[in-house]
Amino acid sequence: MSGEVAVLGAGMHPWGKWGHGFVEYGVAAARAALADAGVDWRDVDSVVGADTVRGGYPGHVAGATFAKALGWQGARVTSVYAACASGAQAVGTARAQILSGLADLVLVVGADAAPKGFFRPAGGDRPDDPDWLRFRVLGATNPTYFGLYARRRMAVHGDTLEDFAQVKVKNAASGALNPNARYRKRVTAEEVAASAVVADPLRLLDICATSDGGAALVLSSMEFARRHGTADPVRIRAVSTVTPRYPTTVLDLPDIATDSAVAVEPAADTFRASIARAAYEEAGIGPGDLSLAEVYDLSTALELQWYEDLGLCGEGEAAKLLREGATALGGRTPVNVSGGLASFGEAVPAQAIAQVCELTWQLRGHAGDRQVSGARVGITANQGLFGHGSSVVAVR
């Protein structure tokens, strides 16, 4: 298929709280991906960095920072910022360069050293910034939005706290099998229930942590992969980076209010659902084709929402799907067999790249104890603050 690019290499720095700078994690992940691809850094045509931002200003600009640390070698450079979707935009940019013939071999890198506790906006009085406003006026942290979604699901679909806890139990069981995960311990429903409430109804173990971590990919044209002797690589078939459609009627970070639907009827599906739909349409596949999915489980309840937004089940049926075991390792469509953010925590510019690393290892059959048997098609789903869609379809 002409629109595809090859994933020659994938690499990570293990996630955790390591106390180093983000450059170290990014370079470690990049070197791992280059070694996995069997290519020399000096042969890379283009480097795309997913930006690490502190205080609203990137400081180090990712693409050039990683290129300098790896040793300047003259490659084309790009840096992209799209909050949590930065990694998908980096993959999308690399793919566009390859498909247009601007580059044959591209390194994609994202890494972060996240501060402890709540994410917070940049300092100073900045009432023109919606992210600053929601903190200043409402004290509305990220977990409070996750709490709103969880409580809404309970009211509309009848989801229970036990359902949410079972998402954590499932993801922790997979994360325990993943050497790159920060948390590698199984968790019981009782432990979730015993953890402190952060934002009603969600508890500490329902909400993902912040982490340090890095992830990288080496992408190439199919022609380069053949010349390189990689006859049957994992291929990226779609990258969805769509924006919402007006009016958005589901309250979303960092907004204080939705758009009004008084003048324009909302689209039939939500922004989150449209992210996956665009990826499916571009890839020419549907939910029934998936071997696995890596979704953005900022909270346990949000993972259930993604089941519906990915079309794994009908609206309101996610908890039933979970209870049936369909999304667990060994089920019909395993979700977050990497362990997900529940086991990794957030390292913002790295996580969408890390999702594609997991698909790559799964589609190669190299995922060890967490291998999804016979994996052929995988999707990632993520969402970046301020309306950045993020979904990647990879196939084998």
Residues contributing to the site for another protein (CB under 8 A) = 117-118, 120-121, 123, 125, 127, 132-141, 143-144, 147-152, 155-156, 196-202, 246-247, 249, 251, 255-264
Contact 355, 349 (CB under 8 A): no
CB of 337 to another protein, least distance (A): 29
Gap between the Cα atoms of 209 and 206, Å rounded: 10
Residue 5, SS3? strand
Which CB sits closer to another protein, 102 or 122? 122
Which CB sits closer to another protein, 24 or 259? 259
Strand partners, 346: 210
CB of 261 to another protein, least distance (A): 4
Residue 226, C-beta contacts closer than 8 angstroms, at least 6 positions apart: none
Which CB sits closer to another protein, 36 or 159? 159
Task: Output DSSP code: residue 41.
Answer: G
CB of 143 to another protein, least distance (A): 8
Gap between the Cα atoms of 350 and 52, Å rounded: 9
Strands 292-295 and 105-113, by their bridges, are: unpaired
Gap between the Cα atoms of 299 and 164, Å rounded: 8
Which CB sits closer to another protein, 141 or 300? 141
Which CB sits closer to another protein, 194 or 197? 197
Which CB sits closer to another protein, 35 or 264? 264
Gap between the Cα atoms of 115 and 192, Å rounded: 24
Which CB sits closer to another protein, 53 or 285? 53
CB of 348 to another protein, least distance (A): 16
- Cis peptide bond upstream of 115, omega within 30: no
CB of 168 to another protein, least distance (A): 18
Which CB sits closer to another protein, 1 or 263? 263
CB of 170 to another protein, least distance (A): 23
Gap between the Cα atoms of 45 and 219, Å rounded: 11
Which CB sits closer to another protein, 188 or 260? 260
Give the containing element (helix H, strand E) for 315.
none
Tokens found for residue 58: 């990137």
Helix axes 348-364, 86-99, angle to 10 degrees: 60
Contact 245, 274 (CB under 8 A): yes
CB of 151 to another protein, least distance (A): 5
CA distance readout (Å), 294 to 10, 171, 337, 341: 16, 11, 7, 10
Gap between the Cα atoms of 292 and 312, Å rounded: 10
Task: Find the length of the chain.
Answer: 396
Which CB sits closer to another protein, 116 or 229? 116
CB of 247 to another protein, least distance (A): 8
CA distance readout (Å), 388 to 60, 82, 206, 288, 290: 22, 6, 24, 25, 23
For 5-27, b/e burial (b = at least 16 CB within 10 A) is bbbbbbbbbbbbeeeebbbbbbb
CB of 256 to another protein, least distance (A): 5
Please spell the DSSP secondary structure of 118-140, one letter per residue: S----SS--TT-HHHHHHHHH--
CB of 53 to another protein, least distance (A): 16
CB of 195 to another protein, least distance (A): 11
Which CB sits closer to another protein, 101 or 139? 139
